[in-house]
């Protein structure tokens, strides 16, 4: 399921970037097929979950940016909240995904410097990613405190 999700996600994201005629669909299909290594079809791992979820997080941020460009408002903040929660959740699947929210935050800073978005959008994304990534730490920390008899 994760392999199919990855192929569909990368195809959708690449279709958004590629030229519109038939060549864009062909280019997106080839790119999506190249995004997932064949060994993941045999033995999936946490890398596959990261590869499968990443295009959807990028699509959320891209949708927010497109809406923001067209309407000159901050766009639906909930898209950035979902993207932030997705990035925070990816951190717990694979620690190497720490670079995903860093890259998206850098993109939002770039958008802010170009005066295409406000600081609020960056703040909402960073707070959502931080809450999602730190919640399991708080839960595990609370459950890990064990009192030992005779030790004070």
Q: Is the pLDDT of residue 6 over 70?
A: yes
Least confident span in 32-41, 42-51, 80-89, 139-148: 139-148
Cα–Cα distance between 72 and 145 in angstroms, integer?
A: 49
Tell me the per-residue pLDDT of 84-137, one tens digit each, with 9 for 90 and over.
888 888 888 877 777 888 888 888 888 778 776 778 878 888 888 888 877 766
Q: DSSP class of residue 95? A: G
Whether the CB-CB separation of 80 and 125 falls below 8 Å is answered with yes
What is the distance between the alpha carbons of residues 109 and 75, in angstroms, rounded to a whole number? 16
pTM over the 0.85 mark: no
Task: From residue 26, give the alpha-carbon distance in Å to each of 12, 18, 129, 138.
Answer: 12, 9, 34, 46
For the stretch 140-145, contacts whose Cβ atoms lie closer than 8 Å and that sit 24 or more positions apart, written own/partner, are none
| Chain segment 7-21, per-residue pLDDT in tens | 777 777 777 776 676
């Amino acid at each position: 399921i994760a392999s199919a999700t990855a192929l569909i996600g990368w195809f959708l994201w690449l279709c958004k970037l590629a030229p519109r005629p038939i060549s864009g669909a062909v280019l997106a299909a080839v790119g999506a097929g190249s995004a997932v290594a064949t060994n993941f079809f045999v033995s999936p791992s946490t890398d596959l979950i990261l590869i499968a979820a990443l295009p959807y997080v990028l699509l959320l941020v891209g949708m927010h940016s497109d809406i923001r460009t067209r309407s000159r408002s901050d766009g639906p903040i909930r898209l950035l909240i979902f993207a932030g929660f997705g990035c925070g959740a990816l951190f717990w699947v694979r620690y190497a995904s720490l670079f995903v929210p860093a890259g998206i935050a850098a993109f939002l800073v770039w958008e802010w410097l170009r005066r295409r978005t406000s600081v609020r959008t960056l703040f909402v994304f960073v707070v959502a990613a931080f809450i999602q990534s730190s919640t399991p730490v708080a839960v595990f920390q609370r459950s890990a405190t064990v009192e030992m008899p005779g030790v004070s």
